[in-house]
A and B are shown apart, each in its own frame.
Chain A
């Protein structure tokens, strides 16, 4: 198995632009998580899905952030409009038993 796949690995954009991050979870995993990593706050859970249904989005910072999971093999995290304070590494993870398997992350820089 290729593991959790995220794209792009790096994204540089200008303030105000729309950004879409993509994730393909491990086949057979029924939970998918989106995290954001910053120096100040560490790994923050933004939202998670179970069987493609959003369960808890209380970590989503504001309405500029949205996430979808149209099917079991794909999820997106969208930021519109992006702001410099959104610069961070965004991780997607899928879960089997008690263990979450993380993708390599997308490093987002908003200028």
Chain B
């Protein structure tokens, strides 16, 4: 089956620092990847859609300058949380869309900002 990995699985950082999260499709090429945010006991909220080689499309209310997304290859997308603050603490999940249009999710990254 299609496998999506994320790195790191968890990260703790100080307020004001930037954090980069990687999302990789391991056994398929993904022209489109997605970044979601999930708060405890809540649903997944789409932050942005990332297309290989082009700028990401952000959902309404998501600050593009704060959440920088780069999709440099067909197997890698990165999310950088810039100048992180405690309110950015959350579970960040990526997904990758295969050629059949199915989305496969990564295991998530737990970000804690102190």
A and B co-occur in one complex: no
Binding site for B on A (CB under 8 A): none
Which B residues fall within an 8 A CB radius of A?
none
